[in-house]
Chain A
Amino acid sequence: MSATVAVAQPAGGTLVAIAVGMVFVGMAIGAAELVPHRSVSIRRSAFSATVDARVGWLILGAVAVTCGLVAVGLIVGDFPISAGDALRTALWERQGEFDFIVNSLRFPRVTVAVLAGMALAASGAVFQALISNPLVSPDIIGINNGAAVFAVSILAAGGDVSLLPVAAFGGAIGTAFLIYLLAWKQGVSGSRLVLVGIGINSALAAVIVFVTVRFPIERVVAAARWQAGTLFGASWSDARILAIGLATLLPGCFFLTRRLRLLQLGDDVAAAMGVRVERDRLLLIVCASGLAALAVSVVGPLAFVALLVPHLARLIAGNLTGGVLVFTALLGGIFLLASDLIAQRLFAPTVLPAGVVTAALGGPYFLLLLARHNRG
């Protein structure tokens, strides 16, 4: 490819790979529909549980696809490295001539993509179930913009960039608490939470616009780039933050899911079943906001992952259970990693922010799946 190309051209190989990938995903979803929902009971002395056979297979499949995509992410890039060299460098010979490119650039980036996608998707699934509204996600009720206000301010004012993740996380969590407090009126109802959230979201959006017109354009560009959501420069320390956060908050959501499943049936039903409604709702909001805040603080407010992936997971796996939540998270990781690979390779060597791909490809692709599902 000539270095003087002014306008980036889509890479032919990447387009073919995207098409093959999309067809593969469509076929995998079709195959999943063939596996019936069948409850398998597991009992070992004091332990008992049920597992839906389809969800079990879906989780295994999602783990396999994630591993495959991680491998692709390690092999593919501007600097040509053979598949064998890339995988060897990443997995067992953690040094050698490709060490920096594979282990300091590509591996942390794919890891961050998977973990951030998991956090966003799980957060969206919990919010959608909690508020009984399929159009809700942390980005719509202002949690992402809460992070963005601080992140954009730091970038636009030329502040200390190392503070950015902490500030973004604080902004997101602070916004979640503000929404909860403002929505409180003898308990928090779902619809009031959404309305308050939408109000806060637009107020925060206005602050962001103010900041972007107030500061010099060169710095505002960096802020705009962050706002699109990007995995550029993802490091192992980002991955570590995400891993620690996920390891605490995801099990929290997982164990709260059985109470969430009762809250879905209405506060009165849940309370009559022995759920402590307000306490458990607050716990769920804390866990879900924490997951979203974590992801946004590292990769920026990526559009659509938290909104769309839970829908996709529900279409394939069924209504929310602990297992479906795990599958949703894995699907989020796959979605974000695939989007980032496309963003890197589609116009290579020009790199798009991953958020552009999640929005531009995710939206239409979701509509396609929805249309197919509704017809079938």
Chain B
Amino acid sequence: MGKQPIEPALAVQNLRLSYGGPTIINDLTTVVPAGEITAVVGANGCGKSTLLRAMARLMKPVEGAVLLDGQNIHSLATKQVAKRLGLMPQAPTAPDGVLVGDLVRRGRYPHQRLFDQWSIADQAAVALALELTRMREFVDRPVDELSGGQRQRAWIAMALAQDTPLMLLDEPTTYLDMAHQAEVLDLLTALNANDGRTIVMVLHDLNQACRYAKHIVALAEGKIVAAGAPGEVMKPDLIEQVFGIGVHVFEDPVTATPMCVPMRY
């Protein structure tokens, strides 16, 4: 793989974020390469989710800007952003009794107009989203009655129905067992590989991030400690900075990507 200039889908410039109290992200600059999977990693409370929310235009920066295809995201109309960028928050919840089909259809909102709410394109996008997530057989099941992995797939299907070239996911594998984690991450990998969708996900499992992401952004205390390919980020001294724990790094016997285990036990 030669060093090509990164074409940014999303660029973050000198970003400072705060919920009105202490600064959570401070003077952060980075890019999200287009057509790749990027993982944001870091210790609990380091500002990963906050950064993701700012990238999705859910919070206004105190300073700096988020650029979507070169334009300041806050200068774009809400619906325009929603056509280009989708977000799946951590552990989203649907009201009791909402059916999977109904949930996925709601993802078409940014493409609909008041009197044009179920076009051929809407129908096709929903069908494709259900197909890709293998949720077709569950369309008439209430979301709250699904297993954790199925539920997560239902929400991903909703984000897919939104049909955005850029998808942001906040810890899509939380609360899932090993097999279901792999299932969700395989699905995201397939989405990236098949139609070049740019994916940004917050993960707390470093080894998982190295397996699935091409680009890793490691945060500590609201600042970037390292950003780049897994091999560049997965270094004992950097990991110690990010997580505050010494690690031993070796090659993942399955994927040949770097992985680590803590030295302390």
Residues on A lying within 8 angstroms of B by beta carbon are 37, 39, 41-43, 46-50, 129, 132, 186, 255, 258-259, 261-262, 264-266, 268-269, 271-276, 314, 318-319
Q: Are A46 and B116 in contact (CB under 8 A)?
A: yes
20 further A-B contacts with Cβ under 8 Å, apart from A41-B118, A259-B109, A268-B56, are: A37-B140, A47-B115, A47-B116, A48-B115, A129-B95, A262-B109, A266-B89, A268-B87, A271-B78, A272-B56, A272-B58, A272-B82, A274-B82, A276-B78, A318-B97, A318-B99, A319-B95, A319-B98, A319-B99, A319-B102
Q: Are A262 and B97 in contact (CB under 8 A)?
A: no
11 A-B residue contacts at CB 8 Å? A41-B118, A49-B117, A258-B117, A265-B92, A265-B94, A265-B106, A268-B56, A268-B89, A273-B82, A273-B109, A318-B97
Task: Chain B residues near A186: list those with CB within 8 A.
Answer: 19-20
Partner of B106, one of A39, A132, A262, A318: A262
Task: Chain B residues near A132: list those with CB within 8 A.
Answer: 95
- Report A364 CB to chain B, min CB distance, Å: 23
Q: Who on chain A is nearest to B120 by CB?
A: A43
Q: Does chain A have a CB within 8 A of B57?
A: yes
Contact with A along B81-102 (1 / 0, CB 8 A): 1110111110011110111011
- Report B93 CB to chain A, min CB distance, Å: 7
Q: Does chain A have a CB within 8 A of B110?
A: yes
Q: Does chain A have a CB within 8 A of B119?
A: yes
Q: Are A48 and B119 in contact (CB under 8 A)?
A: yes
Q: Are A48 and B118 in contact (CB under 8 A)?
A: yes
Bound Cα distance A258, B116 (Å)? 12
Bound Cα distance A319, B142 (Å)? 10
Smallest CB-CB A-B distances: 4 pairs:
A274-B82, A272-B87, A274-B79, A274-B110
Task: Chain B residues near A261: list those with CB within 8 A.
Answer: 106
Task: Chain A residues near B85: list those with CB within 8 A.
Answer: 272
Interface centre among A42, A50, A129, A259, by most chain B C-beta atoms within 10 angstroms, is A50
Interface centre among A47, A48, A255, by most chain B C-beta atoms within 10 angstroms, is A48
Q: Who on chain B is nearest to A132 by CB?
A: B95
Task: Chain B residues near A264: list those with CB within 8 A.
Answer: 94-95, 98
Task: Chain A residues near B38: list those with CB within 8 A.
Answer: none
Task: Chain A residues near B110: list those with CB within 8 A.
Answer: 273-274
Q: Does chain A have a CB within 8 A of B6?
A: no
Bound Cα distance A314, B98 (Å)? 11
* Those of B13-45 within 8 Å (CB) of chain A: 19-20
Bound Cα distance A112, B93 (Å)? 39
Q: Are A268 and B109 in contact (CB under 8 A)?
A: no
Bound Cα distance A271, B77 (Å)? 11
Interface centre among B78, B81, B94, B95, by most chain A C-beta atoms within 10 angstroms, is B95
Task: Chain A residues near B114: list those with CB within 8 A.
Answer: 255
- Report B124 CB to chain A, min CB distance, Å: 12
Task: Chain B residues near A48: list those with CB within 8 A.
Answer: 115-119, 122
Question: Given A37-B140, A41-B123, do A271 and B58 touch, yes or no (CB 8 Å)?
Answer: yes
Q: Are B107 and A273 in contact (CB under 8 A)?
A: yes
Task: Chain A residues near B122: list those with CB within 8 A.
Answer: 48
Q: Does chain A have a CB within 8 A of B162?
A: yes
Partner of B87, one of A50, A129, A269, A319: A269
Contact with A along B54-88 (1 / 0, CB 8 A): 00111000000000000000000011111101111
Q: Who on chain A is nearest to B98 by CB?
A: A319
Task: Chain A residues near B118: list those with CB within 8 A.
Answer: 41-43, 48-50
